[in-house]
Structure 1
Amino acid sequence: MAFNSSQIPSELIDSIKNGKGGIYVGAGLSQSVGLPSWKGLLEELIKLVESVSFKPNDDFIEGIRQLIEVPDKFLTAAQELKDFLQDDFRKFIIDRFADKCPAPGDVHKIIVRLPFKFILTTNYDTLIENAYVQEIQRQAKVYTFKDSADVAYDLWNGTSFILKAHGDANKAQQGIILTEKDYRQILFQERGYQSVLQSIFTTKTILFVGSSMTDPELKLLLSFIHSSFHGGGPTHYALISKESINPVEAESWRKNFNIRIIPYDPKDAHIEVFEFLKEIEKVVCT
């Protein structure tokens, strides 16, 4: 049975129809086509560490393995792995998320067909822009945190774009945001980017898909939102598995980030995420 369109907030539909809606695409949608989860990414980086010429001592490897068993310590593990690998890390990102990126799934294709004014993602892969070429038959405008002037221009003019907030595997030489230290640095050094994020979250309604409450990259972004406008601005919406949220957490997101949780059933490989987006397409594109 398709997701009941009556469960989709009318305010969300109105914002999309009026050109004020954007979508945040989290790592869950990349996992759906075979790319690694956060823990899976860290495990692949550990294997890379073990394969390089100058291996660390066994205590380092064991310490990292212990860290990745605790989601709250993913960022610490990521920092240590990135520091050790240095340029090998950049090469890994290009190979894993660009050169060997899998084909986009149906959920990516429907996202690019919907009339969102922008697609915001913390994923490094090329799934969204590849889906855009397949569905729209032309290249998408793709920006990173280095392109704040272009993002601001397109926001002002209402031109659609993709913003890869933590970096792009195709532009890995610009930098890849993996750790809390990375994120603090770009917000301190890239003032234009800081202004762009503030503008996005205070003037547009955003639908979050493909994320959970424990996603480190989403936590980094939400911490910025909270510090930027202290709960002001429009209401945002997050499609979250009902198995990963409880009423207290949902209320916390509402109070701290102006994000209203829309719970869904994760059975059948999260098919309700696709059905939810399909229902939006029926309502706003007909």
Structure 2
Amino acid sequence: MAFDINKIPTDLIHSFKNNKGGIFVGAGISQAAGLPNWSGLLRELIDLAENVSYKPNREFLDNCNSLLADPSKFLILAQELKDFLGDSFRKYVIKRFADECPPPIAIHSELIKYPYQFIITTNYDTLLENAYVKEFGKQAKVHSFKDSPDIAYDLWNNRPFILKAHGDANKSQQGIILTETDYRQILFQERGYQSILQSLFTTKTVLFLGSSLSDPELKLLLSFIHSSFHGGGPSHYALIAEDQINSVEAESWRKNFNIQIIPYSPNNSHEEVGEFISLFRTLIV
């Protein structure tokens, strides 16, 4: 099986060739390396809650397991677990996504060799920056939502960077975004970061990879910058499994967020994702 090159929009290719492209990396890319997706992350947090010294009552755990069965309740569950775990949540993020982060795989090496202006990721892990070191022998420029002056400088001077939009496992003291409340609390204090996000999505074409349109972290990000998508800004593109979206949903995403869907077959453990990433690189470098 090989991804059909004719599915790749010409405008997307031209954007990256002209240094006007950015990449959004979702949980699916990290999952391919062995890290959990959203449901897996919440399952691990429930397991952690069962084993902390200040054990919760059985009713709390039963309710958490019930919420885990319904993806529409993931943000509610995340809020309750983070509130309950307190500092144990931060320690979990450091251990799971930094200290015990698996090595990057071929997909990460391909991505960091793209001619990108920026890579935005909602993942906490260090896979992309580790791949960068492996490929180029030096540290990548990595920013979080606390670094708006540095992000603005890099944008103005066309310096490629990685933006950890929901926090960095290596900088967890700065804050980790997991819930809608986190967005309100952290981003309300970071007015410059709000402007940065809006600027990224209104001046560059963004390619979304490793995301489902139902992913909570993607919904949080897009809902926060929803107003930025109206008007004559650039088109964005999302590689989405064809069994996850229909034509009505695709049209809704185009109208609401300027995101056009590039469908792929989810067969054989989503191997077409890796094929697309490799093929697209040959077209833009």
TM-score higher than 0.5: yes
3-state SS in 1 of match to 2:112: helix
For each residue in 1:53-73, what CA deviation from the matched residue of structure 2 results, as whole angstroms up to 9, or x when unmatched? 111111111111111111111
Q: Distance in 1 between matches of 2:201 and 2:239?
A: 17
Q: Partner of 2:236 in structure 1?
A: 236
Q: Please report the TM-score for the alignment, with normalisation by the length of structure 1.
A: 0.97
Q: Distance in 2 between matches of 1:2 and 1:138?
A: 33
Q: Is the 8 A contact 2:202 2:228 kept in 1?
A: no
Q: Is 1:63 the equivalent of 2:63? A: yes
Q: Is the 8 A contact 1:82 1:89 kept in 2?
A: yes
Q: Distance in 1 between matches of 2:266 and 2:135?
A: 26
1:32 aligned partner, one-letter code: A
Q: Distance in 2 between matches of 1:95 and 1:232?
A: 43
Q: Is 1:85 the equivalent of 2:118? A: no
1:79-118 equivalence runs, <5 A:
79-118=79-118
Q: CA deviation at 1:141?
A: 0.4
3-state SS in 2 of match to 1:113: coil
Q: CA deviation at 1:231?
A: 5.3
Q: Partner of 1:214 in structure 2?
A: 214
Q: Is the 8 A contact 2:229 2:257 kept in 1?
A: no
For each residue in 1:195-233, what CA deviation from the matched residue of structure 2 results, as whole angstroms up to 9, or x when unmatched? 000100000000000000210000001112213343541
Q: Is the 8 A contact 1:231 1:256 kept in 2?
A: no
Q: Is the 8 A contact 2:3 2:264 kept in 1?
A: no
1:137-148 equivalence runs, <5 A:
137-148=137-148
Q: Partner of 1:183 in structure 2?
A: 183
Where in structure 2 are there 5+ consecutive unaligned residues? none
Q: Partner of 1:256 in structure 2?
A: 256
Q: Distance in 1 between matches of 2:45 and 2:282?
A: 41
Q: Please report the TM-score for the alignment, with normalisation by the length of structure 2.
A: 0.98
Q: Distance in 1 between matches of 2:147 and 2:226?
A: 23
Q: Is the 8 A contact 1:98 1:126 kept in 2?
A: yes
Q: Distance in 2 between matches of 1:79 and 1:116?
A: 34
Q: Partner of 1:123 in structure 2?
A: 123
Q: CA deviation at 1:280?
A: 1.5
- What percent identity do the matched residue pairs reach? 67
Q: CA deviation at 1:277?
A: 1.6
Q: How big is the alpha-carbon RMSD for the aligned residues of Structure 1 and Structure 2? A: 1.0
1:197 aligned partner, one-letter code: L
3-state SS in 1 of match to 2:198: helix
Q: CA deviation at 1:281?
A: 1.4
Q: Distance in 2 between matches of 1:140 and 1:168?
A: 14
Deviates more, 1:20-29 or 1:132-141: 132-141
Where in structure 1 are there 5+ consecutive unaligned residues? none
Q: Partner of 2:46 in structure 1?
A: 46
For each residue in 1:69-106, what CA deviation from the matched residue of structure 2 results, as whole angstroms up to 9, or x when unmatched? 11111011000110111111000000000000001111
Q: CA deviation at 1:284?
A: 1.6
Deviates more, 1:239-248 or 1:275-284: 275-284
Q: Partner of 1:158 in structure 2?
A: 158
For each residue in 1:225-271, what CA deviation from the matched residue of structure 2 results, as whole angstroms up to 9, or x when unmatched? 21334354110000000010111110000000000000000112211
Q: Partner of 2:27 in structure 1?
A: 27
3-state SS in 2 of match to 1:54: coil
Q: Is the 8 A contact 1:141 1:161 kept in 2?
A: yes
In the comparison of the two structures, how many residue pairs are matched?
Answer: 285
Q: Partner of 1:6 in structure 2?
A: 6
Q: Is the 8 A contact 2:229 2:258 kept in 1?
A: no
3-state SS in 1 of match to 2:76: helix
Q: Distance in 1 between matches of 2:83 and 2:232?
A: 37
